[in-house]
Amino acid sequence: MKTIRASIIGFGAVGQGVANVILQKSDYLQKVGIDLRVVAIADSRTSVIDGEGVDLSVVLASKKEKKAVGTGKISGIDIIRTVAHELVIETTPTNIVDGGVGLVNMLAAFERGMDVVTSNKGPLALKYGELTEASKRSGSRFKFEATVGGAMPVINLACDTLAGNRILSMEGIFNGTCNYILTRMMEEQAPYEQMLAEAQELGIAEADPSYDVEGIDTASKLVIVANVIFGMNATYRDVTVTGITRITPEALLLAHNNGYAIKLIGEVNDGRINVAPKLVPLGNPLAVGGTLNVFSVQTDISGPITITGRGAGSIETASAILSDIISLYKE
Amino acid sequence: MKTIRASIIGFGAVGQGVANVILQKSDYLQKVGIDLRVVAIADSRTSVIDGEGVDLSVVLASKKEKKAVGTGKISGIDIIRTVAHELVIETTPTNIVDGGVGLVNMLAAFERGMDVVTSNKGPLALKYGELTEASKRSGSRFKFEATVGGAMPVINLACDTLAGNRILSMEGIFNGTCNYILTRMMEEQAPYEQMLAEAQELGIAEADPSYDVEGIDTASKLVIVANVIFGMNATYRDVTVTGITRITPEALLLAHNNGYAIKLIGEVNDGRINVAPKLVPLGNPLAVGGTLNVFSVQTDISGPITITGRGAGSIETASAILSDIISLYKE
């Protein structure tokens, strides 16, 4: 049994999801030889620290009732710099402009030789090369399955499970909000604005939906996968992006009657990274509906391999973080 | 760099595929720290042995021209029992009645403490418990991703990549021949017999198609996955099986017009293992066409995860064997 001391930096939906999943899976973690102790948690205003391991149920209840993880005032970055632990679980809100506090947190963790597991896309979509360099320099390990495709194990599938194959190209649907809106526009033959409003009502789209519907979220995820799989050092600004706001129900119907669906597809081919609405044949593994995400790689010897799953959701994202933790420390 | 000495026992399409893939991927194998030397190869009549590593190109040419791997007469089982090596790649033809020579080979390898990687379904669909027990007793490792779903990494996905999740149930299309026939019957509105004949012409169906179309192949694969994932000890005879021979093009069209496809689905739910034609909603990840296979698991925290790929083909199966070898020995 290995004792791993971890911090959770950022305690929004995903951070709380991680705490819940760790509670739920403690028996399983013990079974694979991991005694995981969360010794510090920080949200944006408060923190709690206990070298023996904080009581996650108490912190979850406190967050729910008092909107605070505790009464401490030590910030996330100071926890990373001063509290003795091996693993930083970085789940602060993403910042796609300059990487924000997440980038600072990750670099600080690497400086101390700590491992980082994160769901925070921004820093990776902007500074992939810098981050992986920093982790290598200090011998830290860096896992970020949760940044792409929620519960879909995109990165680990491509890098580990398909180890015998070389990946030639890849494409997929990386944004459940867009997929939901397009699916519903076709089903109801209703315009974009109406189905966006429905998605917002259901909590599937944000009040400001531009990050999703303009394709920026898809571009950020795509860049992370492209960098990992093809050893690129691209940022999301290198991606040619067209969103879904101009698609009409008439176009969707015409496509359908000819045996196609229209989907917002992100693809990497010959070093070019594109996000745009594309025709996909019905019956093709990419033609999944609802909020589903899908990821497909073309391999040199096995042809195409496709994986489909829920691309978002805090508990799904937390499960990807847990899978990364298990892969780092299991016996 | 680790030197791994291997034998290939059985040199039909899959065995030759393995030799080809090892040749093609020798640089990559070196890169991950594996110096893989095939020290012996046996087909059903001849064999070749060289402690320094046989020349795979020569053996492949010999097999092609002379229908024999060499001039030696030492049988596969004697190679396993007497030649010094660490890994047996077992690719003899499958035998679903009693496990045949494959079962004998695997047990002999485990007796000597050797690792086994195989594509041979029969022994696993009949004697899973006995085989895993034997491998544990001697500290051998046993990998068989290639027995299920060709290039689709079904077993490694469920056991490793999704480690943070518990799998509640699973379902899928495990037979490309059936999927092809059903897809074409719908497209052409042609009867079963006609599309079976087309599949036979294209080499997608065997002269005697019963192993595929009666669902026995699906049942065998399903049992292997069920045993691994749920720790069962079932054999393919425990599966309730209905094949596709009674499906009509009219039924397929009626389903289609109501938004469904009919697919031969294998499923494991609450310990029950069934194979039968089922209605699948179009747009559902299971509704893939052509010869594709698909595998879907319902997980406790991530919901459904689905993987799709080519379920058959000697080179695809060989790639799964290679992925298993890499996962066993990479540094």
Domain boundaries, given as residue ranges, for chain B: 2-150+314-329, 156-309
Residues in chain B closer than 8 A to A153 (CB atoms): 157, 161-162, 305
* Residue reference for tokens 């077992």: B90
| Domain B2-150+314-329 shares a fold with domain B156-309 | no
- What is the structure's pLDDT at B226? 93
Write out pLDDT tens, residues A90-138: 999 999 889 999 999 999 999 999 999 999 999 999 999 999 999 999 9
Rounded to the nearest angstrom, the gap between the alpha carbon of residue A38 and the centroid of all alpha carbons in its chain is 21
- What is the structure's pLDDT at A166? 86
Query: H helices of chain B, where?
Result: 13-24, 26-31, 56-66, 76-82, 100-111, 121-138, 154-156, 176-188, 192-201, 210-213, 216-230, 249-257, 314-329
Cβ contact (<8 Å) for A309 and B310? no
Write the residue in B289, B306, B313 that is nearest to A283 by C-beta.
Answer: B289
**Residue B243 and residue B214 in contact, taking contact as beta carbons nearer than 8 Å:** yes
Looking at residues A192-212, what average pLDDT do you find? 93
Above 90 in pLDDT, residue B310?
A: no
Write out pLDDT tens, residues B64-118: 999 999 999 999 999 999 999 999 999 999 998 899 999 999 999 999 999 999 9
- What is the structure's pLDDT at B47? 97
- What is the structure's pLDDT at B25? 92
Under the banding of pLDDT at 50, 70 and 90, the label for residue B236 is: confident
* DSSP 8-class letter at B32: T
How many angstroms away from the CA of A239 is the closest CA of chain B? 27
- What is the structure's pLDDT at A315? 87
Nearest CA in chain B to A164: B323
Under the banding of pLDDT at 50, 70 and 90, the label for residue A5 is: very high
- What is the structure's pLDDT at B311? 79
Neighbour-count burial for B48-65, b at 16+ CB within 10 Å, e otherwise: bbeeeebebeebbebbee
Looking at residues B43-52, what average pLDDT do you find? 96
Phi, psi of A41 (to 5 degrees): -135, 135
Under the banding of pLDDT at 50, 70 and 90, the label for residue B249 is: very high
Closest CA to B191 of B200, B182, B180: B182
Residues in chain B closer than 8 A to A32 (CB atoms): 163
Write out pLDDT tens, residues A251-286: 999 999 998 999 999 999 988 999 999 999 987 889
Contacts for B53 with CB less than 8 Å, ≥ 6 apart: B5, B37, B38, B39
Topology classification of domain B156-309: Dihydrodipicolinate Reductase; domain 2 (3.30.360)
Strand A115-118 vs strand A87-90: parallel, antiparallel, or unpaired? parallel
Share of chain A above pLDDT 90, in %: 79
- What is the structure's pLDDT at A283? 78
Cβ contact (<8 Å) for B327 and A160? yes
Q: What value does the mean pLDDT of chain B take?
A: 93
Under the banding of pLDDT at 50, 70 and 90, the label for residue B185 is: very high
Share of chain B above pLDDT 90, in %: 79
Output the CA–CA distances (angstroms, integers) from residue B74 to B11, B52, B61, in the order listed. 14, 18, 20
Which of these is catalytic: A63, A127, A221, A263? A221
Cβ contact (<8 Å) for A302 and B150? yes
Under the banding of pLDDT at 50, 70 and 90, the label for residue B272 is: very high
Nearest CA in chain B to A307: B307
Above 90 in pLDDT, residue B250?
A: yes
- What is the structure's pLDDT at A155? 87
How many angstroms away from the CA of B118 is the closest CA of chain A? 15
Under the banding of pLDDT at 50, 70 and 90, the label for residue A158 is: confident
Write the residue in B160, B283, B306 that is nearest to A307 by C-beta.
Answer: B306
Strand B115-118 vs strand B142-143: parallel, antiparallel, or unpaired? parallel
Residues in chain B closer than 8 A to A284 (CB atoms): 288-289
**B260-269, strands of its sheet edge to edge:** A240-241, A272-281, A260-269, A167-173, A292-299, A303-310, B303-310, B292-299, B167-173, B260-269, B272-281, B240-241
CA distance B136 to B142: 9
- What is the structure's pLDDT at A159? 77
Write out pLDDT tens, residues B122-151: 999 999 999 999 999 999 999 999 999 877
Q: Return the structure tokens found at A267.
A: 């693809």
Write out pLDDT tens, residues A222-231: 999 999 999 8
**Residue B307 and residue B123 in contact, taking contact as beta carbons nearer than 8 Å:** no
- What is the structure's pLDDT at B283? 78
Nearest CA in chain B to A29: B164
Above 80 in pLDDT, residue B255?
A: yes
Under the banding of pLDDT at 50, 70 and 90, the label for residue B314 is: confident
Looking at residues A64-93, what average pLDDT do you find? 96
Write the residue in B285, B310, B313 that is nearest to A308 by C-beta.
Answer: B285
Write the residue in A25, A152, A164 that is nearest to B25 by C-beta.
Answer: A164
CB pairs under 8 A between A and B: 162
Closest CA to B150 of B123, B127, B126, B119: B119
Under the banding of pLDDT at 50, 70 and 90, the label for residue A183 is: very high
Q: What value does the mean pLDDT of chain A take?
A: 93
Above 80 in pLDDT, residue B278?
A: yes
Q: With helix as H, strand as E and coil as C, how does chain A read?
A: CEEEEEEEECCCHHHHHHHHHHHHCHHHHHHCCEEEEEEEEECCCCEEECCCCCCHHHHHHHHHHHCCCCCECCCHHHHHHHCCCCEEEECCCCCCCCCHHHHHHHHHHHHCCCEEEECCHHHHHHHHHHHHHHHHHCCCCEECHHHCCCCCCHHHHHHHHCCCCCEEEEEEECCHHHHHHHHHHHHHCCCHHHHHHHHHHCCCCCCCCHHHHCCHHHHHHHHHHHHHHHCCCCCHHHCEECCCCCCCHHHHHHHHHCCEEEEEEEEEECCEEEEEEEEEECCCCCCCCCCEEEEEEEECCCEEEEEEEECCCHHHHHHHHHHHHHHHHCC
Above 90 in pLDDT, residue B206?
A: no
Nearest CA in chain B to A315: B301
For chain A, give the number of residues: 331
CATH architecture of A156-310: 2-Layer Sandwich (3.30)
Looking at residues A182-211, what average pLDDT do you find? 94
How many angstroms away from the CA of B160 is the closest CA of chain A? 8
Write the residue in A288, A318, A323 that is nearest to B162 by C-beta.
Answer: A323
Cβ contact (<8 Å) for B323 and A289? no
Q: Looking at this protein, which amino acid is placed at residue A118?
A: T
Catalytic residues of B: 221
In terms of C-beta density within 10 A (0-12 exposed, 13-18 middle, 19 or more buried), how is residue A26 classed?
A: middle
Write out pLDDT tens, residues B17-31: 999 999 999 999 999
Q: Give catalytic status of residue A221 as yes or no.
A: yes
Above 80 in pLDDT, residue B35?
A: yes
How many angstroms away from the CA of A114 is the closest CA of chain B? 22
Q: With helix as H, strand as E and coil as C, how does B94-116 read?
A: CCCCCCHHHHHHHHHHHHCCCEE
CA distance B298 to B285: 13
Looking at residues B197-204, what average pLDDT do you find? 92
Topology classification of domain B2-150+314-329: Rossmann fold (3.40.50)
Nearest CA in chain A to B21: A301
**Residue B196 and residue B247 in contact, taking contact as beta carbons nearer than 8 Å:** no
Residues in chain A closer than 8 A to B309 (CB atoms): 302-306
